[in-house]
Amino acid sequence: MEIGVLLNADSAEADELVALAQVAEDNGIGIAVVTGNRHADAWVVATWITGVTDRIRVSVPPRDEPFDPAGADSAVPAVLAKAVATLAALAPERTLPPGARWTVVDADADADAGSVRDAAGAGIPVVPVHTAGDVTRLRPLVAAPEPEAPAGRPHRSALALAQRMPGIAYDAVPAGLAARAVEPGDPEHRAVASTYLRGGNPGLVLRPRTVAEVADAIAFARDHRDIPFGVRSAGHGISGRSTSRGGLVISVGAMDSLEVLDRSRRLVRIGPGRTWKRVAQSLVSHGWALGSGDYGGVGVGGLATAGGIGLLSRKHGLTIDRLRAVELVLADGTPVRASDTENPDVFWAVRGAGANFGIATAFEFETSVVGQVGWAQLTLVSTDIEESLYRYGQIASEAPTDTTVFLVTGRARQGQWVVSLFAVVDHPDPDTVIARLTPFLDLGQLARQQVVMTAYPGVMANAVDIGPDGQQGFGEPVSRSAFIPELTRQFAHEAAELLSSDLVYFFELRAMGGAITEVPSDAMAFSHRSPLFQATAMSSSDDLLSAEWDRLRPHFDGLYLSFETDRRPERLLDAFPGPVLERLRRLKAEYDPTNLFRDNFTIPPAELPVSTMAGGEQTFETEKAA
């Protein structure tokens, strides 16, 4: 059985502790926890132990008592934390994982493995030792076998089990999901912990592969209302929190199939876990494409439940405009199919607010015929960003609808802004492509240009596939979104002021209009049909960005929730204007009355009092919806 020894630097010299650790390793003991500081510094002792042993893991617990700057025995907490992190980085296999729990157990000579395990609870038993004899008498305990895993469940070492997090009934994971479930102590955990932009440390990741397993996973989520809960397809969420610290994630990434349902109608069925890069690759041989976004790594599940503003949007509309049906598992575990004729209310809600209504397990899309397109990536340098933004606004909105151009800029460098333009001209004739792009060269001094004729997968090829190491995000994005009805001179002026402040490192204007405007604004939960642009700003300071963005609000008309991280309640009304939100809240009360799905712009069910809102992060004043 996995067992540790407790070495106390308050009562022994450093060399005695190191010798005890060596004896422990020789006797098969896996962990040495070093405490105290009187005779020696615990962390230095622990580091020395790793140097003179081969396998034993070390740990130095944070000290309970407050730091005493005058006390010779007191370790500066920040210094200790840095020391712990440094050794963990240098020798990850030789330190106890940060989340691993252990319990001090006074095991006497007669102790048996069962009683020691019981005394340790969910942690690893760690026994105080003072002499080599104390260590060798633990040998029978070390030799005791680990308990068998329940039938059908993977075996996990005591060290892995000690990293389980509170509040999760791990042994209650339904049998069909248990084999693929990932816990903090599992080798795969690092690969599922982060998303593209966020760091995380989820307590449990369930990875269903079938609709029935999704229903089982949802039932497990219903039994775990007190921990964070997120849904993941490909992990590119900005507004949605598809990872957490200590929470539950249901990842449908493995449900990533694509099949052609009806060639004559160009109808395809796609799983939520497929990335748009892979969708494009699968459709190209048919001469079809689905407008998605501007980045191939984004998942179908997150994008097709929110909108999908992309580089084909002015010609072919939003991604959700091509959706003909969706299969969804609701909060009570019921699988439903929604379309214009089946559960039309759900179909209306999913196209814009899908994350609030269930877990989508398949989408049916009518694809577009798309051949060779002009794909341009231009870099210009501007010394007058106000003028560049304003001119971009005019040219991009007046361009024929086969032309969709996104502008990206950020902080100035020595009075100059680098302006990147990403453009798709859905036209097979290279001369027409050049003609469409030429007006944009006025926006600054051209520094770099790449224009190619390519099929749509060439546009989506900008992302690497998610590899075995998973996503590696480590932060918490700070992003603001706004729809802009018209890019006026005054907006360009104020946006230029914002860009001169150094606050925003990423600023994007996406041209809309065209086919997006052809769908009535009440046709689905995404209702922003008339704005000509979508603006996104990213910063490292949430508060400062809020203040600056609020100043620009007179120019805004709503927001695109996928690019928004501001969780102030009024943002919900920006994403879903009054009557839309009212309808969504009524539907939420019908389909998810306890607000199980809450990781992405929580819509309060109409009948749920604000005080009972899960997560407590978002409150909502009903009168604002009136």
Nearer to ligand FAD, 75 or 279 (CB): 279
Residue 68 falls in which region: left (phi positive, over 0), alpha (psi -120 to 50) or beta: beta
Angstrom distances, CA of residue 378 to CA of 347, 405, 448, 495: 39, 10, 6, 21
DSSP at 561: G
Out of 237, 352, 457, 604, point to the residue binding ligand FAD (CB under 6 A). Answer: 237
| Closest CB 350 distance from ligand FAD, rounded Å | 8
Is there binding between residue 374 and ligand FAD (CB under 6 A)? no
Tell me the residue nearest to ligand FAD as measured from the CB.
Answer: 302
Return d(Cα 589, Cα 242) in angstroms, integer: 23
Candidates 83-91, 236-244, 340-348, 426-434 — which segment interacts with ligand FAD by CB under 6 A? 236-244
Residue 417 and residue 426 in contact, taking contact as beta carbons nearer than 8 Å: no
3-class DSSP string for 374-396: EEEEEEEEECCHHHHHHHHHHHH
Give residues with Cβ within 8 angstroms of 561, minimum separation 6: 239, 306, 307, 481, 575, 600, 601
Out of 123, 208, 302, 604, point to the residue binding ligand FAD (CB under 6 A). Answer: 302
Nearer to ligand FAD, 233 or 282 (CB): 233
Angstrom distances, CA of residue 563 to CA of 227, 477, 535: 25, 10, 9
Return d(Cα 585, Cα 603) in angstroms, integer: 6
Is there binding between residue 233 and ligand FAD (CB under 6 A)? yes
Out of 57, 94, 164, 241, point to the residue binding ligand FAD (CB under 6 A). Answer: 241
Nearer to ligand FAD, 236 or 480 (CB): 236
| Site map (CB under 6 A) of ligand FAD, residues 554-573, x = contact | --------x-----------
Out of 359, 433, 496, 509, point to the residue binding ligand FAD (CB under 6 A). Answer: 359
Nearer to ligand FAD, 16 or 256 (CB): 256
Give residues with Cβ within 8 angstroms of 240, minimum separation 6: 230, 231, 302, 355, 562, 599, 600, 601
Is there binding between residue 53 and ligand FAD (CB under 6 A)? no
Structure token digits, residue 428: 């097979």
The 3-state DSSP class for residue 538 equals strand
Structure token digits, residue 364: 């049916």
Out of 305, 404, 481, 539, point to the residue binding ligand FAD (CB under 6 A). Answer: 305
Nearer to ligand FAD, 247 or 393 (CB): 247
Is there binding between residue 306 and ligand FAD (CB under 6 A)? yes
Nearer to ligand FAD, 234 or 407 (CB): 234
Is there binding between residue 310 and ligand FAD (CB under 6 A)? yes
Is there binding between residue 473 and ligand FAD (CB under 6 A)? no
Residue 496 and residue 392 in contact, taking contact as beta carbons nearer than 8 Å: no
Out of 600, 604, 605, 614, point to the residue binding ligand FAD (CB under 6 A). Answer: 600
Nearer to ligand FAD, 252 or 395 (CB): 252
Using CB under 6 A, list all residues that contact ligand FAD: 195-197, 230-238, 240-242, 252, 272, 293-295, 298-299, 301-303, 305-310, 354-355, 359-360, 562, 599-600
